[in-house]
Amino acid sequence: FAGIDAGAGTVTLNGSLFVDNLNESTRGKTLTLVSAESISRKGGYTGIYAVVKALRDTNEEMADEADWMKLVVDVAADGSITAKMTTDNFSATGADYGAGVSDSFLSALSWLSSGGSYGAFGIVNMAEALEKDPQQYALMNALSGLSSDQLADEVEKLSPSGFASMLAMPVEAFNADVARIHARLDQRRYDGANPLRETGEYEFFVLAQGDVAENGSGADNPVFDYNLYGATAGVDWKPDYRSTLGLAFGYTYGKAKMRNGGGKVEMDDMRVTAFASRLIGDRFYVDGGLQAGTAMFDTRRETVAGSATGDTDAFFAGGFVTFGAVFTLSEDKKDGSGLYLMPNIGLSYLHESIDGFRESGTAGLDMDDADGDSLRARLAVALQWAFPFETWQVRLGVEAAYAHDFLGEDIDLDGRFTAGGNAFGTTAAALPTDVFSIGPTLDVGLTERDSLWLGYELEIDTDSGVSHGFNAGYRHRF
């Protein structure tokens, strides 16, 4: 038995073995010399390439067995030494990796941790390896210092799973626009009862909206939470009693935070939306619109090998249609009061193309172009109560809804480490599939030309995620 002295950094056995390059992952660990053929270390994985610098006077193969990977050390007759690890060590650990960590990604990690492009390399020539490829050497050294209980979290941070937020945030900003424009067109439908607002008038509107979303913590859930804050401004016009046409411009800032301190993705999203509505008879209506825009992303991942940063752009386009009805439960046209039941069903689709990008940093990734889609069906019912209050006309409502996304659950991400190695492909969770929501609305007509509105929405998905959405707006007729 021989112990490693943290101060001296050496172990001597008959003058034939000593340990060099001690770091925090190796200090305080022990080597148990079982025989001339086998070296086993206890207390977790300690950084294999810092353990042995010279093994002399033998040409036997020596195996170093750790708790999650295996190092094979070969000593040639001339005294030269090489070391390599099993190729599938990350896959064979039994760690509970998330759905966004694929076998091909684990294979890429294994290649890097086992010496990378050097394959089996001479430990006595590590200084030469460092000089030839310092990035690959640094990443290899960081990977070899992981302990078993770190694996699941650290491998997740190394993976591109968090980049799925580049699909989730634009989709949620788009769906928020769909909901706000539908509410805006509802206001125009209210106006139809007032002869002063039937045709020809333009209305300007501006609103602020936000969304704070926390995903569930399961292995198959998205690995990030996010916040969205944005503003939309637009104008619409009624060419006739039954029709409304409009145009809106929006901006949203988004920030996704990866779990376990894995980093963040920040977004600047700008878009334009053209929309229209048509009354069918006195009760039914159809709303629709088209949207196109661009998003700019800045990424920062925090890994065992340090920070990796990058930036990229995306383009997206989509459309939506909503069919609904207004059922009058009671109404007094003299004072403008009434109770209304308003069911609707809608379908929205968004396609996004994300440009490939290359991160900087030891654990940087070189990502290919990626495409994502969301096709969401939403069934909702609202109850609204209109009544006068002082000089104001007030509408107080509540809406409950169920939404199902047919395409946006995940996104395919392909890339490779900038340090080298094989390409990998993985599928990362992006959006919840089934979402239930409920929330109140308030619309206050201040004058014949000005009104304010407020809204809140609580969303709960079937994967234990929770989202809080809010909006506030103002409109003016001219």
CA distances from residue 270 to 291, 295, 311, 315 in whole angstroms, order as listed? 10, 6, 16, 10
**Residue spans in the chain of domains classed CATH 2.40.128.130:** 164-477
Q: pLDDT for 244-272, tens place per residue?
A: 999 999 999 999 999 999 999 999 999 99
3 state DSSP class of 136: helix
Q: What is the largest CA-CA distance in the chain?
A: 106
How far is residue 405's CA from residue 338's CA, in Å, rounded to a whole number? 35
Give first-to-last CA distance, the chain, whole Å.
89
Of 234, 235, 339, 351, the residue nearest 292 (C-alpha): 351
Tell me, what's the pLDDT at 128? 57
Show the tokens assigned to 391: 């000089």
Check pLDDT > 60 for residue 153.
yes
Which residues are CB-neighbours of 46 under 8 A, at least 6 positions away? Answer: 25, 26, 29, 66, 145
How far is residue 63's CA from residue 70's CA, in Å, rounded to a whole number? 7
Amino acid occupying residue 72:
V
Tell me, what's the pLDDT at 21? 41
What is the chain's mean pLDDT, rounded? 80
How far is residue 187's CA from residue 365's CA, in Å, rounded to a whole number? 48
Residue 441: strand pairing partners: 397, 455
How far is residue 462's CA from residue 101's CA, in Å, rounded to a whole number? 22
Look at the pTM and tell me if it is higher than 0.85. Answer: no
CA 368 vs. chain centroid, Å, equals 17
How far is residue 399's CA from residue 469's CA, in Å, rounded to a whole number? 13
- Helix and strand totals (H; E) in the chain: 5, 26
Q: Which of 143-147, 158-162, 229-233, 344-348 has the lowest mean pLDDT?
A: 143-147
Annotation: CATH topology of 164-477: Lipocalin (2.40.128)
How far is residue 99's CA from residue 427's CA, in Å, rounded to a whole number? 7
Tell me, what's the pLDDT at 116? 60
Show the tokens assigned to 463: 């994967």
Q: pLDDT for 64-108, tens place per residue?
A: 333 344 444 554 555 444 544 443 457 656 567 877 889 899 888
How far is residue 209's CA from residue 147's CA, in Å, rounded to a whole number? 44
Of 76, 79, 11, 8, the residue nearest 41 (C-alpha): 11
